[in-house]
Structure 1
Amino acid sequence: MADDVDGDTSHAHPKALLVMSERTCGDLFDGARWRRLRALVDLDEPARVDVFDDEVLARLDSVEFLITGWGTPVLDSTVLRAAPRLRGVLHTGGSVKSLVTEHFWDRGIIVTSAAEANAIPVAEFTLATILMEAKRVPVYAAGYASTRDVAGSWRDDIAPSVTFGGVVGLVGFSRVGRRVAELLRPFGFDVVVADPYATPEDVHAAGARLIDLDDLMPLSDIVSIHAPELPSTLNLLNARRIGAMRPGAVLINTARGALVDTEALIERCRLGRLRAVLDVTDPEPLPADSPLFDAPGVVLTPHIAGAMHRETLRLADSALDGLEALVRGSAPRHVVDRSLLGLSA
């Protein structure tokens, strides 16, 4: 961790504190980003903490900005009372629901999120998965490996590819869903979207068309989930909707595992009627004896669609952009709208 990177402290800056795990901090802040941070704010030592103990709470008296991330403790009323000058929380993660309590909103503290930056790798992962599955690449690869026969009759049992003219259904027109729709433009798919809060005009502008979820499920060759986990979306893809998917269809989930009826999904995959690529599951992490590990046609990835390794630098940049705006007295981008929290992840 580069806490000891030199910075310009020749004139007074507002004080800030990083509150996140050491590993998260090391991923987010390289030398260039530490230098940018120290040029904007003053950081007492240690610059990073991961608990709000009595010593840290005492330090909050002069802090104007908190920079948070994965591993940050809840910002509750105790933190708020200890930080009378606090005016901004710059979050390097996506959702702030489990981080910021009602007390913060009531005091008018500005909260920003890096959800837009994190949507980029999720959308790219989804695009890559759609293209591979549309070409049936994983199925061909498995057949070739098991038969050692490059052109055998085993190929006849594989469903035709849907790489040109196939239907991709996006469940949710979120940041990620919208970006996936736009990324799919050059590839000749018919892209349809189901989202009760989207408008036909916005969906059309992204190169897709808006339809009802119950129409999307049997129509789509590939269904990709990009909806938030809310009480209204639990088991959104229930047994009836999964059962309506066409034979040979593929379900991709990079959103939240609880949106899918896992038992119904496993049953459909065991029948050979469906494939699934799951980057998220319910529960998460999965127990070692979960039937998902051995279910035919199920590909599990360990929650890797979001920002990893150098991709996380985008998240730091997002927070630093917001911090710079606040320090300079302007409005930051990506401010979290309290009124929309009930519709977001």
Structure 2
Amino acid sequence: MTLRIVLAATPSFREMVFAASSVERLGALGQVVVLDDPGDAEALKAALPGADVLITSWGAAPLTSEVLDHADRLRLIAHSASSVKHFVTDEVFRRGLRITQAGQAMAQPVAEVSLAFTLSLLHRIQRFDRQMHAGAWRDDAPPQHSLPSSRIGVVGASRTGVEYIRMVVALGASVVVYDPYLTDDRAAQLGVRRVDLDELLRTSRVVALHAPTLPETHQMIGARELALMPDGSSLVNTARSWLIDSTALLAELQSGRLDAALDVFDEEPLPADSPYRGLPNVLLTPHQAAATVECYLEMGDITATEIERFAAGEPLEYELTQAALARMG
């Protein structure tokens, strides 16, 4: 099958994500038409007639009925990044178009950062680092703990959540999970125990958030939930700030009762005068958990592989249904 493929991505994104080998594989499938501005709906409409596959990227133009009216042969949308919610509309599913995405590439690096955060919080590395930079030596800090002696609570058995679970279980931690979609059989496979959110918060030394961005998860960790966490426990968030009542979290952190490691914030970039910046019990990174060289190149590799599968009539590994999309962030 010879395909006409429209690749809508900025030059910098293409350079970062599509290695020469991925570009060669796409070219072997047929004609590749490149659009430098993924958000330019007019350019997209002009390129879509005759296209079989559309490769989208960050900043993709919404696929409205007006845009899709120009897609006379389009059958597959291959998103070369993670979430598609900002541009995929119901019209895509009404027209029977198939969607795949490369978000699996982000699961491993984000889980690695969550693990690094977890270990830092257990050993109070962020507190000691602040003290040492300030000229102090072994000033007061809460007790340090090892991972195998700790219960880790995971909120959300998402792609990233599962990768994180595998890591902490392999290192000997006792793990409990809150996820309404996690079955007992799947929990047993992962070596974890399903619990409700309150029990998880009350009994975990570290709580790691990996839940999706859905209406029902908005500020699911609020003042009441944070108050359930034991003194000296810690919170890890590499998912979305959507999940937390940031005002309540800040109050708990300013009290010194909890520690936290955060990669995501309500306002990004984080303002220079943010109170988070001055807290010795908070580890901060600038929404970069997935940003490894290898992650970006794997996104391009996954995209090329999915289109090859489509061309060969094989099942797609990362196809999204409308029902699955409704449960994803």
TM-score, scaled to structure 2 = 0.94
Q: Give the drift of 1:49.
A: 4.4
Q: Give the drift of 1:199.
A: 1.2
- Answer with 125-134 or 235-244: which moved more: 125-134
2:98 is the alignment partner of 1:114: no
Amino acid in structure 1 at the alignment position of 2:143 = A
Q: Give the drift of 1:318.
A: 1.1
2:130 is the alignment partner of 1:146: no
Q: Give the drift of 1:265.
A: 1.0
Q: Give the drift of 1:47.
A: 5.6
> In the superposition, relative to structure 1, how do residues 161 and 56 fare at CA in structure 2: closer, same or farther (>3 Å)?
closer
Retained in 1: the 8 A contact 2:9–2:35? no
1:14-93 equivalences under 5 Å are 14-44=3-33, 46=34, 48-52=36-40, 54=42, 56-93=44-81
Residues of 2 paired with 1:78 and 1:339: CA distance? 24
Structure 1 runs of 4+ aligned residues shifted over 6 Å read: none
Q: Which residue among 89, 97, 100 is the counterpart of 2:85? A: 97
Aligned residue number for residue 338 of structure 1: 322
Q: Deviations over 1:147-188 (max 9, x none)?
A: 454xx5x35x43132333101110111111111111112322
Aligned residue number for residue 243 of structure 1: 227
Retained in 1: the 8 A contact 2:165–2:175? yes
Q: Give the drift of 1:201.
A: 1.9
Q: CA RMSD in A?
A: 1.9
Amino acid in structure 2 at the alignment position of 1:22 = P
Retained in 1: the 8 A contact 2:111–2:160? yes
Q: Give the drift of 1:321.
A: 1.0
Residues of 2 paired with 1:18 and 1:270: CA distance? 47
Retained in 2: the 8 A contact 1:18–1:49? no
Q: Give the drift of 1:204.
A: 2.1
Aligned residue number for residue 168 of structure 2: 184
Aligned residue number for residue 282 of structure 1: 266
Residues of 1 paired with 2:303 and 2:190: CA distance? 27
Larger Rg: 1
Specify the SS of the correspondent of 1:215. Answer: helix
Aligned residue number for residue 323 of structure 1: 307
> In the superposition, relative to structure 1, how do residues 166 and 56 fare at CA in structure 2: closer, same or farther (>3 Å)?
closer
Residues of 2 paired with 1:284 and 1:306: CA distance? 16
Amino acid in structure 2 at the alignment position of 1:257 = S
Higher relative contact order (CA 8 A, sep 6+): 2
Q: Which residue among 272, 276, 281 is the counterpart of 1:292? A: 276
1:149-168 equivalences under 5 Å are 149=137, 154=139, 157-168=141-152
> In the superposition, relative to structure 1, how do residues 71 and 53 fare at CA in structure 2: closer, same or farther (>3 Å)?
closer
Retained in 2: the 8 A contact 1:229–1:258? yes
User: 5+ residue gaps in structure 2?
Assistant: none
> In the superposition, relative to structure 1, how do residues 47 and 99 fare at CA in structure 2: closer, same or farther (>3 Å)?
closer
Retained in 1: the 8 A contact 2:83–2:103? yes
Retained in 2: the 8 A contact 1:222–1:249? yes
Residues of 2 paired with 1:255 and 1:320: CA distance? 26
Residues of 1 paired with 2:42 and 2:322: CA distance? 29
Amino acid in structure 2 at the alignment position of 1:334 = Y
Residues of 2 paired with 1:42 and 1:245: CA distance? 56
- Answer with 213-222 or 52-61: which moved more: 52-61
Q: Give the drift of 1:200.
A: 2.1
Specify the SS of the correspondent of 2:16. Answer: helix
Specify the SS of the correspondent of 2:309. Answer: helix
User: 5+ residue gaps in structure 1?
Assistant: 1-11
Residues of 2 paired with 1:320 and 1:116: CA distance? 14
Specify the SS of the correspondent of 2:69. Answer: helix
Retained in 2: the 8 A contact 1:135–1:163? no
Specify the SS of the correspondent of 1:183. Answer: helix
Retained in 1: the 8 A contact 2:126–2:283? no
Residues of 2 paired with 1:127 and 1:337: CA distance? 30
Q: Give the drift of 1:72.
A: 1.4
1:191-340 equivalences under 5 Å are 191-340=175-324
Q: Give the drift of 1:132.
A: 2.3
Q: Give the drift of 1:237.
A: 0.4
Residues of 2 paired with 1:59 and 1:177: CA distance? 38
Specify the SS of the correspondent of 2:191. Answer: coil
TM-score, scaled to structure 1 = 0.90
> In the superposition, relative to structure 1, how do residues 115 and 55 fare at CA in structure 2: closer, same or farther (>3 Å)?
closer
- Answer with 175-184 or 18-27: which moved more: 18-27
Q: Give the drift of 1:136.
A: 2.2
Residues of 2 paired with 1:325 and 1:258: CA distance? 35
